[in-house]
Amino acid sequence: MAQELQITAASVEPALLDLPWDVPLEEWPGEVLAALPRGLSRHVVRFVKLGGRIIAVKEIGETVAYHEYEQLRALGRLGAPSVQPLAVITGRRDHSGEDLNSALVTEHLQYSLPYRALFSQYMRPETADRLIDALSVLLVRMHLLGFYWGDVSLSNTLFRRDAGAFAAYLVDAETGELHPTLTPGQRAYDLDLARTNIIGELMDLQAGEVLDEDVDTIAVGNQIVERYESLWAELTRKESFESGDRWRVTRRINRLNDLGFDVGELTITTDIDGTTVSIQPKVVDAGHYHRQIMRLTGLDVQENQARRMLNDLESYRALTDRQNDDAVVVAHDWLAEVFEPTVRAVPRELRRKLEPAEIFHELLEHRWFMSQRERRDVPTAEAVQDYVETVLRHRPDERSFLHHGGIADEATEP
């Protein structure tokens, strides 16, 4: 039996040979299994301890196993968010000589959970919405790579939190196919299948009393269609402009923010036709921006302030062609070259009216509206002057008002 067993892998892990391949997977002994939550699958899947790490083993037909193995390897080379394939095991026989199904072995995605575990443990309604958002981001990314999934569902996806972000990962590529590009029909089929499967999966959760019966499962299913179509249109639309038109970058980011997505990566490339913006979105959890700006700059600011500051930092990073530089170093330079000079440009006697982060936040917003109105990239100095004269000078002195008990005094006046 040992001579007939075949392992196909880019790099064979010797410990694989020690696993009980002559036993059906559903009968594997508990000492080799890892007690991790599993999602629904049409095949038998087990998490297995292997030399200090965890792998996932799925029993599957030989042809399908090889196909999925190659699809996952190809996706890995493209940098797609998917599980990593390790090996295909064929030639399995039990003790009586009967053939057993082949097995696909993948690396377990650390800190990831299937959707059912998320719903049953600590799911909040707003988090459920973010999981649908994360799946729509995943589907758009796969389609941009030319990958036709063929079986989009919550069950075939893993989710994990990563520094405040929700990320979705493809975990089942049995029906997947890579193409140079996808046709509108292929994308539409994947999207319609996603909607149908999600509705069915959520109804199943309601039947099991895991999901509140008041949740409109059809509306949630429709949500992925709306998110996907909006995001696809925003990400695939080509936009070229002069290198000085920074306000156009801000407009692109703001549109993504309005769709509920946040900028994970931003790249700008220059060619003979001008400058092209490419944005990679991600879905983030509450408090993400505050933590990020604190880590990068040491500034302790509010969430919305941090969000706008990080967007400006990303624009600065792209426009100075420093995407490959250390994020902390770039943030330090942004503080010295953008944030601090902008705040100092406000007359000293007016700075006390608002906190520095709020002044900077309002200045960015003011410059953005000026640039959009005038269809040009308004220089910071010009925006500061206009902001000071038309907005800030007419604002109450918040620090003085609060420090002198203005709120309490107003409340006690007759």
Q: Which two tokens stand for residue 166?
A: 């929700």
Name 279's bridge partners: 266
pLDDT score, position 408: 36
Examine the domain organization and report whether 75 and 149 are in the same domain: no
Least trusted range by pLDDT, from 72-86, 97-111, 160-174, 311-325: 160-174
Examine the domain organization and report whether 68 and 171 are in the same domain: no
Residue 318: pLDDT over 90: no
Examine the domain organization and report whether 384 and 262 are in the same domain: yes
Residue 124: pLDDT over 50: yes
- How far apart are alpha carbons 305 and 221 in whole angstroms? 33
- How far apart are alpha carbons 293 and 197 in whole angstroms? 38
Reported confidence tier of residue 193, pLDDT bands at 50, 70, 90: very high
Q: Report pLDDT digits (tens) over 243-259.
A: 667 777 778 888 777 77
Examine the domain organization and report whether 317 and 384 are in the same domain: yes
Q: Which two tokens stand for residue 140?
A: 């758009």
Q: Which two tokens stand for residue 179?
A: 């193409």
CB neighbour class for 31 (10 Å; exposed up to 12, middle 13-18, buried from 19) = exposed
In a domain? residue 409: no
Which of these three, 108, 127, 161, is where a domain ends? 108
Q: Is 127 helix (H, G, I), strand (E, B) or coil?
A: helix
- How far apart are alpha carbons 281 and 283 in whole angstroms? 7
Say what angle helices 356-374 and 303-319 make with each other, to 10 degrees.
60
Domain CATH number, residue 130: 1.10.510.10
Examine the domain organization and report whether 261 and 337 are in the same domain: yes
Question: What is the pLDDT of the chain when averaged over all its residues?
Answer: 83
398: CB partners within 8 A, 6+ apart: 353, 354, 355
Examine the domain organization and report whether 246 and 375 are in the same domain: yes
Can you tell me the mean pLDDT for 183-200? Answer: 96
CB contact at 8 A, 173 and 75? yes
Can you tell me the mean pLDDT for 227-243? Answer: 81
pLDDT score, position 135: 92
Q: Is 219 helix (H, G, I), strand (E, B) or coil?
A: helix
DSSP string, 63-97: HHHHHHHHHHHHHHHTT-SBPPEEEEEE--B-TTS
Residue 30: pLDDT over 60: yes
Percent of the chain with pLDDT over 90: 37
Examine the domain organization and report whether 390 and 255 are in the same domain: yes
CB contact at 8 A, 120 and 58? no
Q: Which two tokens stand for residue 226?
A: 């709306």
Least trusted range by pLDDT, from 150-154, 373-377, 401-405: 401-405
In a domain? residue 15: yes
DSSP 8-state code for residue 52? T
For 260: left if phi > 0, alpha if psi spans -120 to 50, otherwise beta; the answer is left
In a domain? residue 408: no
Tell me the range of 87-91, 298-302, 310-314, 320-324 where mean pLDDT is highest.
Answer: 87-91
The count of structural domains within the chain is 3
Residue 34: pLDDT over 50: yes
In a domain? residue 1: no
pLDDT score, position 272: 62
Residue 379: pLDDT over 90: no
CB-based contacts of 28-32 (< 8 A; 24+ apart in sequence): none
pLDDT score, position 303: 78
Least trusted range by pLDDT, from 202-206, 283-287, 325-329, 351-355: 283-287
pLDDT score, position 14: 84
Examine the domain organization and report whether 213 and 251 are in the same domain: no
Residue with tokens 């000085």: 244
In a domain? residue 332: yes
In a domain? residue 215: yes
pLDDT score, position 413: 34
Domain CATH number, residue 46: 3.30.200.20
Examine the domain organization and report whether 397 and 259 are in the same domain: yes
Tell me the range of 46-55, 126-135, 278-287 where mean pLDDT is highest.
Answer: 46-55
Which of these three, 70, 85, 108, is where a domain ends? 108
In a domain? residue 293: yes
Q: Is the dihedral of CA 150, 153, 159, 165 positive or negative?
A: positive
Selection from 334, 344, 347, 257 nearest residue 297 by Cα: 334
Q: Which two tokens stand for residue 152?
A: 């989009």
CA-to-CA dists, residue 154 to 86, 157, 204, 305, angstroms = 23, 5, 12, 34
Examine the domain organization and report whether 122 and 219 are in the same domain: yes
Percent of the chain with pLDDT over 70: 84
Reported confidence tier of residue 68, pLDDT bands at 50, 70, 90: very high
Q: Which residues constitute the domain of residue 175? A: 113-236
In a domain? residue 393: yes
Examine the domain organization and report whether 185 and 276 are in the same domain: no
- How far apart are alpha carbons 377 and 381 in whole angstroms? 12
- How far apart are alpha carbons 121 and 202 in whole angstroms? 15
- How far apart are alpha carbons 72 and 105 in whole angstroms? 11
Residue with tokens 């410059």: 367
Examine the domain organization and report whether 41 and 120 are in the same domain: no
Overall pTM > 0.85: no
pLDDT score, position 405: 45
Count other C-beta atoms under 10 Å from residue 99's C-beta.
10
Which of these three, 90, 108, 126, is where a domain ends? 108
**Residue positions counted in the chain:** 414
